[in-house]
A = this chain, B = another copy of it.
Amino acid sequence: MATIRDVAKHAGVSVATVSRVINETGYVHEDTRRKVETAIRELHYTPNEVARSLYKRKSRLIGLLLPDITNPFFPELARGVEDEMQANDFRIIFGNSDENRKKEKDYIQTFVQNNVVGVIASTNHPDNDTYRKLDIPVVFLDRTADNRPSVYSDGREGGRIAAQEMLSRGSRKITVIKGPKHIRPAQDRYQGAIDVLSNEGIAFNVIQTSSYSFTEAGTWAKELFEKHPDTDGVIASNDIVATAVLHEALRLGKKVPDDVQIIGFDDIPLSTLLTPSLTTIRQPAYDMGRAAASLLIQLIENENVDNKTIQMPVTFTERDTTRKVEQHG
């Protein structure tokens, strides 16, 4: 690998001049510029980002911390982040936290050790010192923390919508699947749903789950129909469990949506391809990723950001696991 000194020698100038050419700073005579550019080309020189980063105490790297890329919601988010970052010449150091504080902390630390200029994190503990003490901008994604920069969608509202739509479509024996305790958005959704149910005076059952994993989802679906066989409406904590519930319902010979209606959450890409396709509360994951990246970049570049917390819309996405409701008025 050629260094800046090689280029300087080859072009017959000083390293300072080469640096000026590369960074387009200060004065450089046109002829000199050309000489340097030729040398750069001939030596296939590319600047060493590490050396740069050391002096500037800033890299072109950002840290991205997500709970688990294996959950289909997160790749969408990640992809949004990546595309926006890529477009702005930032690269990503990536880690899965498994919603585990130690892993989180370790990752944040190595992010810092690698001079990242910003962090996007999906954490349940934004108020933790790990984040508070960071002196680089952090954007919380799919999570909120009051007044700290974040991009999220309103889980509570989503839960409410799910419950309302479920009710307006006639289900009365509703089972709500309560996502893992330590996952904030899961709890928000649950709260939103039971807000509405309680207000309307509708009794409901709850199935508590402890992870979002594919393998366990089936277990909870089984548990649901064993404990509450007369359920005629399921509000799931995300599309994975919703899919498992759908699978189990069909296995039991129930008709969906006639016997049981199901509403999921997230709108992962596969939801449309299920049969019947899954009605769900959509979060615009890809756009959320992009928005978070864009917000972080603004923060990094010290631009004045008026809107530090961006709430994205949740939308009821009607498909075939819910009954059609006749239009009136």
Contact surface of A with B, Cβ cutoff 8 Å: 1, 46-51, 53-54, 59-61, 64, 68-70, 72, 74-76, 78-79, 82-83, 86, 91-96, 109-110, 112-115, 214, 217-218, 240, 243-244, 246-247, 250-251, 269-270, 272-275, 277
Pick the contact of A214: B1, B79, B93, B270 (CB < 8 A): B270
Chain B residues whose CB sits within 8 angstroms of the CB of A72 once the complex forms: 72, 75, 270
CB nearest neighbor in B for A135: B1
In the bound assembly, the distance between CA atoms of A81 and B64 in angstroms comes to: 16
CB nearest neighbor in B for A86: B95
- Copies of this chain held together in the complex: 2
In the bound assembly, the distance between CA atoms of A247 and B72 in angstroms comes to: 19
Query: Contact at A218–B272, with CB atoms within 8 Å?
Result: yes
Q: Least Cβ distance of A322 to chain B in Å?
A: 17
Chain B residues whose CB sits within 8 angstroms of the CB of A50 once the complex forms: 50, 53-54, 59, 113-115
Query: Contact at A269–B214, with CB atoms within 8 Å?
Result: yes
Chain B residues whose CB sits within 8 angstroms of the CB of A240 once the complex forms: 273
In the bound assembly, the distance between CA atoms of A260 and B251 in angstroms comes to: 19
Q: Least Cβ distance of A4 to chain B in Å?
A: 13
In the bound assembly, the distance between CA atoms of A110 and B88 in angstroms comes to: 13
